[in-house]
Chains A and B, each alone.
Chain A
Amino acid sequence: MSDVAKDQAAIAARVKALESILIEQGLMTTAMVDRTAEIDENEVGPQLGAKVVARAWVDPEFRRRLLENATEACRELGIGGLQGENMAVLEDTDEVHHAIVCTLCSCYPWAVLGLPPNWYKEPAYRARMVREPRRVLADEFGYAVPERTEIRVWDSSSEMRYWVLPRRPAGTEGWSEEQLAALVTRDSMIGVGSVRAPS
């Protein structure tokens, strides 16, 4: 057995031991585990953020409210909750490109993007994104930002949860919100990638 598999087996046994104690203490049930997994796998994920972005692209009044108070604007669409109690949306323009990171742990706007991807929580991204964002975006994500555009990296050090409103791609005039939402990627709302090209 490899070290990694041994580690995994050891952790799995520890977790099961903890879970068994919590069950006997009347604090936890396997139904809670099933419900949590169902939420994280199917209900709360980047499809929610994409819906908000698409609405902002077609509705200037909504976009204004979203930039003014993201938490309240998302609530209009029934979106919000844990790790999204206090959100702020950052609008990309020709002058400024935004990206998010959490150098101290792994804070992330769960309510609109779901659980964070592993690379977001691992040391390399957290260490490098505040120090060499231009290089990280270009070399690690294949996302080159022109030098005339400021890169503004938001280190999520408080309970504010930031995320990015990417620019609407050209060639999507007249598209429906559903069509537009399908172009919005998780990475574009983190600020490390572009939206999908319209086809």
Chain B
Amino acid sequence: MNGVLDLGGTDGFGPVDHVAEEPPFRAEWEKSAVAMFFPVFRAGWLGIDEFRHGVERMDPVDYLTSPYYNHWVHTMEHYGRARGFLDPAELDRRTQHYLEHPDAPLPAHEPRQELVDFVDAVVFEGAGATRPTDKQPRFSAGDAVRTKSVAPFGHTRLARYVRGKTGEVLAHRGSFVYPDAAGNGLGENPEHVYTVKFDARELWGDDYADRNSSVCFDVWDPYIEHVGEAGGTTA
């Protein structure tokens, strides 16, 4: 989708608020928001690509101005409601209750070691996105390629600033879940992934590019064509 999330090359945001050292969490609610990913992932509310797409569908003003982990809250709530895991009226009722009584306790419960073990397993063993495929990789290192100039609706990882641009394949990374399928509820449909290097002048024009710089951007096989082939519609 052409959303505000797709920030590469957008001007006007001002200085980077670089802080040398800061704690991982700025508020107690952030710990719960981060931890909540594990149970909703385990219960099948959403996958990682859907998780990102739920964030992308936030109101654009909220997206740009919310504390970061509120994006997580938004996407988990979105899928919980959309898939019937959450009763919106009950969620609103409880939210109002805790707003009026911030120190009111959570429901009593047992610690359940298997849920803590699940956190450890995911953190230390991972939940990777590589998947086998019968498809043959169409590209290899050194190939000159052009990204398609398309503006799909829904989830994609083909950022606007690299669409319709020519670059060189640096590496083939293997086959992975295809976000344009998985993020849109269409299954994993694995595709090969490549790193493509774009010269800054190709992306921004000779007059505006930083000198002697480049961007490496990972693409799934359907995002690119060999230079010389038809490159899709004009966006």
Contact = CB atoms under 8 A, between A and B. Distances in A.
Interface of A: 7-33, 35-37, 39-41, 44-45, 80-86, 88, 103-106, 111, 114-115, 117-119, 121-128, 130-136, 139-141, 147-160, 162, 187, 192
Given A32-B35, A32-B116, A39-B119, 10 more contacts: A24-B107, A39-B120, A85-B126, A88-B171, A119-B16, A128-B11, A134-B213, A151-B214, A152-B215, A159-B177
Contacts of B22: 117-118
B5 A105 contact: yes
A181 B26 CA distance: 27
Given A12-B28, A36-B35, A122-B68, A17 B95 contact: yes
A85 B124 CA distance: 10
Contact of A82 (B11, B52, B122): B122
B19 A36 contact: no
A18 B160 CA distance: 34
B112 interface: yes
A109 B161 CA distance: 23
A73 to B, nearest CB: 15
B226 interface: no
B214 A12 contact: no
A148 to B, nearest CB: 7
Interface string B9-30: 1110111111110111111110
Contacts of B219: 157-158
A21 B88 CA distance: 11
Given A8-B67, A19-B36, A104-B159, A119 B9 contact: no
Interface stretch (B69-77, B135-143, B227-235): B69-77
B7 A15 contact: no
B212 A32 contact: no
A14 B68 CA distance: 15
B5 A104 contact: yes
Contacts of A14: 73, 77, 91, 95
Contacts of B184: none
Contacts of B119: 32, 35-36, 39
A85 B127 contact: yes
A89 to B, nearest CB: 13
Given A22-B39, A36-B34, A153 B214 contact: yes
Contact of B67 (A11, A114, A134, A157): A11
Contacts of B91: 14, 17-18, 21
Contacts of A105: 5, 52, 55
B134 interface: no
Contacts of A20: 94, 98, 106-107
Contacts of B220: 158
